[in-house]
Amino acid sequence: MAFVTRQFMRSMSSSSTASASAKKIIVKHVTVIGGGLMGAGIAQVAAATGHTVVLVDQTEDILAKSKKGIEESLRKVAKKKFAENPKAGGEFVEKTLRSIATSTDAASVVHSTDLVVEAIVENLKVKNELFKRLDKFAAEHTIFASNTSSLQITSIANATTRQDRFAGLHFFNPVPLMKLVEVIKTPMTSQKTFESLVDFSKALGKHPVACKDTPGFIVNRLLVPYLMEAIRLYERGDASKEDIDTAMKLGAGYPMGPFELLDYVGLDTTKFIVDGWHEIDVKNPLHQPSPFLNKLVAENKFGKKTGEGFYKYK
């Protein structure tokens, strides 16, 4: 009987250990790599929801600009959220800003973080080099996530030794306003990691949706072919870009027409995505390049950010 009891206790002990190891990570400390629009937006919403954040970029000048942009964004949020209590709004802004530290050395700050979210240039080699380096310094429990909108998550995760703790976490611009987050699970992503990221997304006040590691995930997989077909419609002379935009706004109820959206997203970004998909699947008609889009990008007409794309901006 004593033997049976000991065996039972050992079994219970090992079960408890397994259960503990399978517990989800509660993300409290976040490191965001990349101080651009997306990275700054992610840092802002994380800090505003009670997380401590370290925002990382290459220079102090970039980080100062990011911090300034975050402060301006927070003041807009506070003005609306605390319309009848400006003092509380000011306190909200200051508290959120205090929760965001900055650094130019990613390796020195990831040792104590729960989650690393990467939002840098859409270049697989650069992302791989970053994660390979951080993998050596981050704690074993730390989850890595990429905000890529076009690259395969698996290809990025393979640069590390923590494929089970690696996933996609795709936010949408502008991050403080857009509610959706796509949580991308690769064949190697553990359920524990996936659920931890779903919980984190909810903690940010976002609505997470799950998707496998397929090109474009959900939104871009549907959106980009739609945008490209609008360009082809215009290229063939079937309709003007103005009428196409008007038709989709009034007929489909979209807030922006495809050409307005293309200019907002960036023509260079759309071309990058389409070119990447075309390399993967050359025969797919949805992924065929557009001569007119290529021409505009070659002329550095990327849309609103350069002052001209399909439309001109002052």
| Known active-site residue 141 | no
Q: Active site residue: 99, 150, 170, 201, which one?
A: 170
- Annotated ligand binding at 253? The verdict is no
Helix pair 86-98, 60-81: axis angle to 10 deg: 150
- Annotated ligand binding at 237? The verdict is no
- Annotated ligand binding at 122? The verdict is yes
- Annotated ligand binding at 34? The verdict is yes
- Annotated ligand binding at 196? The verdict is no
- Annotated ligand binding at 168? The verdict is no
Query: Among candidates 159, 164, 169, which has minimal Cα distance to 142?
Result: 164
Helix pair 267-280, 258-265: axis angle to 10 deg: 90
- Annotated ligand binding at 129? The verdict is no
Residues contacting 6, CB < 8 A, separation 6+: none
Q: Active site residue: 66, 147, 150, 182, which one?
A: 182
- Annotated ligand binding at 127? The verdict is yes
How far is the first Cα of the chain from the last one, in angstroms, to the nearest whole number? 85
- Annotated ligand binding at 36? The verdict is yes
Query: Among candidates 99, 91, 118, 95, which has minimal Cα distance to 29?
Result: 99
Residue ranges of E strands in 41-99: 52-56
- Annotated ligand binding at 35? The verdict is yes
| Known active-site residue 170 | yes
Residue ranges of E strands in 119-206: 143-146, 166-171, 180-185
Q: Active site residue: 196, 220, 260, 287, which one?
A: 220
Q: Active site residue: 66, 99, 149, 201, which one?
A: 149
| Known active-site residue 51 | no
Q: How far apart are CA 103 and CA 110, in angstroms?
A: 11
- Annotated ligand binding at 80? The verdict is yes
| Known active-site residue 182 | yes
Active-site annotation, residues: 149, 170, 182, 220
Give the residue ranges of the annotated binding site: 34-39, 57, 73, 80, 122, 127, 149, 173, 305
Q: Which residues are annotated as a binding site for NAD(+)?
A: 34-39, 57, 122, 127, 149, 173, 305
* Binding-site annotation, residues for CoA: 73, 80, 149
